[in-house]
Amino acid sequence: MQLDPASGWCHGVQVCPSPNFNERPAGEISLLVIHNISLPPGQFATGKVQEFFQNRLDVTEHPYFAGIADLRVSAHFLIERDGKVTQFVSCLERAWHAGVSLFEGRETCNDFSVGIELEGTDDLPFTDAQYQALTVLTRQLQTAFPAITGARICGHSDIAPGRKTDPGPAFDWARYRAALAQEEGQ
């Protein structure tokens, strides 16, 4: 996987363009936000996340879908349980992943962040393949956008406390940060 900073697209990953994005107001990219998602909740490898981010979700397929039918959301990336990475929005554009959010006194984190969704739930451990892909992707992002330092990587719950809980207690921050530090040292 290789991120092209000129286009904001990552080569070597699946591309599944989402219409749910707009221009960044300042073009700044200085925050990485980690999320989790599964559709229906707790079910994996359904293809429904991709459909949701493309506004193609058939809301009659599952009762949960009726409650999200009118949402228009996206993320820059999704990392599935097997480590497969899909990109929905160029990193140079503003994906709609964080919603009402605040980081270090600054609101509207979508304006300056990249969003990565991990296929999962708050309470199920993420897979080795996901941590490996997340580490590689994070290093690509940090190389292309040096303002994304270790201190500027957070969970959705950190920027929307009380409203969001992801990536949840099952996400192993220590493992992820140690892998980033090891990769950096090589």
Q: pLDDT by residue (tens digit) across 155-167?
A: 999 999 999 999 9
Q: Residue 78: CB partners within 8 Å, gap ≥ 6?
A: 37, 49, 50, 53, 85, 86, 88, 116, 117, 118, 119
Checking if the pLDDT of 185 tops 70, the result is no
Query: What is the C-alpha separation between 163 and 149, in angstroms, rounded?
Result: 25
What does the DSSP 8-state code read for residue 98?
S
Other C-beta atoms within 10 Å of 28: how many?
A: 12
pLDDT digits (tens, 9 = 90+) for 104-149: 999 999 999 999 999 999 999 999 999 999 999 999 999 999 999 9
Phi-psi region of 163 (alpha: psi -120 to 50; beta: other; left: phi over 0): alpha
Checking if the pLDDT of 12 tops 80, the result is yes
117 is catalytic: yes
pLDDT digits (tens, 9 = 90+) for 21-80: 999 987 789 999 999 999 999 999 999 999 999 999 999 999 999 999 899 999 999 999
Checking if the pLDDT of 186 tops 70, the result is no
Query: What is the C-alpha separation between 170 and 173, in angstroms, rounded?
Result: 9
Among residues 28, 61, 80, 117, the one annotated as catalytic is 117
Checking if the pLDDT of 151 tops 70, the result is yes
**What pLDDT was estimated at residue 28?**
87
Q: Who has greater pLDDT, 183 or 79? A: 79
**What pLDDT was estimated at residue 33?**
98
**What pLDDT was estimated at residue 37?**
97
Token pair of 38, please? 């599964």
**What pLDDT was estimated at residue 184?**
62
**What pLDDT was estimated at residue 182?**
86
**What pLDDT was estimated at residue 183?**
62
Whole-model pTM: value is: 0.96
